Amino acid sequence: MLIKNKKGNAFVAWFFVIVVILSFSVFMLIMNKVTPEIVNPLAEELEENMPDDSPFNTTEVLGKVVNTQRNLSNMLPFLIIGLFAFVLIGAGSLMKHPIMIFIGIVILAVCILIAAIFSNVYEQISDTPQFEATKDELLLQNKFMDYLPQIISIMAIGIFIAVLYGKSQGGTSI
């Protein structure tokens, strides 16, 4: 059992979602910047230290690594869906009383504010001259980070509707 008092878990869960999305996006931005810069020196060193009869083509392998790593940033929508499910499951167990809806609205407002701040942080990092070329390669990730406050709002509205619908249907636990 991680936390015995569940009253603050809603805010912690939303904050966790926003931090994970920002962390993943910044990590992928940095990885997409650094990886192409180290591939050629790494390939040269590996070629020099490989036995002459080695069947491995290090340039080809490193090229595949770069392509795979570049495509990993396209996993952001699936990460967001997984985090949405995480918060949805937690919200169902937390919102037992109707007053929690109003508390949820306050938490939503704070989370939208934090999401807007984090969206701006990502934009400031990605707009630096060092990351300009990298930003152009990560179109899907940039769109998601541009619209992070709206995504969080849609997730929260979906969760509130699901929880309210579940309560109105007389959802029972087994």
One digit per residue, the tens of pLDDT, for the chain of length 174 reads: 444 445 556 667 778 888 888 888 889 888 888 888 888 888 888 888 878 777 877 778 888 888 888 788 888 888 888 888 877 777 666 556 667 667 777 878 888 888 899 899 999 998 988 888 888 888 888 888 999 899 888 888 887 777 777 666 555 554
List helix spans (H) across the chain: 9-49, 58-72, 76-94, 99-126, 132-137, 139-146, 148-168
* Residue 158 domain flag: yes
Number of domains in the chain: 1
Give me the pLDDT at residue 174, please. 46
- 3-class DSSP assignment, residue 58: helix
Pair of tokens at residue 118: 């984090």
* Residue 60 domain flag: yes
Give me the pLDDT at residue 8, please. 53
Give me the pLDDT at residue 10, please. 61
Per the structure, the complete domain to which residue 15 belongs is given by 9-168
DSSP codes, 78-119: HHHHHHHHHHHHHHHHH--STHHHHHHHHHHHHHHHHHHHHH
* Residue 3 domain flag: no
* Residue 95 domain flag: yes
What CA–CA distances, in Å, run from 124 to 16, 17, 88, 135, 146? 21, 20, 31, 11, 11
* Residue 4 domain flag: no
Give me the pLDDT at residue 131, please. 87
* Residue 173 domain flag: no
How many CA within 13 A on the CB side of residue 30?
A: 8
Give me the pLDDT at residue 120, please. 92
* Residue 123 domain flag: yes
* Residue 113 domain flag: yes
